[in-house]
Amino acid sequence: MRERIRDKERLVHILTAIDNLIDGSKRYTVEEAEQDTIIFYGFVKQVEIIGEATYKLTKEFRAEHPEVEWDVIEGMRHVLVHGYYEITPHKVWHVIHNDLPVLRPFIERYIQEESANQ
């Protein structure tokens, strides 16, 4: 059962994974991820964490914040887990550089809101 009180914890997991991905993409190039599967799957795991933490958010929380495409984020996790053979470093880099910078401010704001409500 999903508990509203744990939404803040899940949001922190999302923010941490976003920061790990952004920081990691500064240390490694997409070419290095293409050449080293361990590096690549480290990035993939962080994206999976974002999707899993999103899945664990309560339906109420997600409904209260429709400006984020939660279903798309959750769906990415399913693709990474079940369609892992279709994911490329370039697709992951696209998410890191195009989607995560847009998502991050929302997550920061939600964490602040949840902290104020506790």
Which residues are known to be catalytic?
Answer: 77, 82
Burial 27-38 (b: 16+ CB within 10 A, else e): ebebeebeeeee
| DSSP line for 51-96 | HHHHHHS-HHHHHH-TTS-HHHHHHHHHHHHHSGGG--HHHHHHII
